Amino acid sequence: MLNVSRPTVVKLIDDGVLTSRKVGSHRRITLADLLAYRDDMIARRRAVLDQMSRDAEELGLYD
Amino acid sequence: MSILVAVLDADVLVPILSCDLLLSAFDEDLYRPVVTATILDEVERSLVEHFTHLDPTALRGRVAQVAVALLHHMHDEGDVTAATVATVNHKDRHVVAKRVRRPVTRGELIDQLAGSFPGLAAELLGKRGVTGSNSRTLPYGWPSRLAVATRTSDRRL
């Protein structure tokens, strides 16, 4: 769902970026939290990619 | 769901069109990228060497933007071999650590992607009806930023 590796998800949880609770040995993340994080991640990424495109055009990198 | 995992070496991140296309494909979740700090250092060196007429600070800014876009996909150097990527992502069926050869035109780039990234080929060439080297139009549904990049479609990169 996040298109990141399993170790990355674990790191996000350990860093407190994603909230989880333990059920036995498993970590559980609420769907709402996961979707909110995903939407935020995508929005930030697209903003950067759009800015990259504008900057590249201004610099003449496509010429 | 299994997803294609691909190492984005400097060879594919320095040509601007190649970089834009691959990052856009990643943004559409068509594959999972893997990069390292060393790869991005090489991208920075190559950009500065190639675009000698531009301010190196601006080119370093571009690399910083790539790093932000690929946040969560930076791996330690030791992880990035075909074998260890397979280990890191042991649940993924398709692991590809091939380089895309330096593209010449957009059509050829699509052909190379088709050869190197079968998952992308199915997505770009199959569902969207793009026809490799003969393609001269922007495939429906691609992000608008590619419209800028593909202005150069008939020029040599």
ipTM of this predicted structure: 0.82
Q: Is B64 exposed, middle or buried (0-12, 13-18, 19+ CB in 10 A)?
A: middle
Q: How many CB atoms lie under 10 A from the CB of residue B15?
A: 20
Residue B4, Cβ density class (10 Å: 0-12 exposed, 13-18 middle, ≥19 buried):
buried
Chain B partners within 8 Å of A52 (Cβ): 20, 23, 62, 65-66, 69, 145
Query: Distance between CA B5 and CA B7 in Å, rounded?
Result: 7
Give the pLDDT band (50/70/90) at residue B36: confident
DSSP 8-state assignment for residue B127? I
CA distance B27 to chain A (A): 8
Phi, psi of B92 (to 5 degrees): -90, 135
B46, B65, B70, B105, best to mutate vs chain A, most A CBs in 10 Å: B65
Residues pairing with A21 in the sheet: A28
Are A62 and B65 inside 8 Å of each other by CB?
no
Give the range with max mean pLDDT: B3-12, B122-131, B148-157. Answer: B3-12
Give this prediction's pTM.
0.66
Let me know how long chain B is.
157
- Read off the pLDDT of residues B87-138 as tens digits, 9 standing for 90 and up: 333 333 233 333 333 334 444 445 455 554 445 444 444 433 333 333 333 3
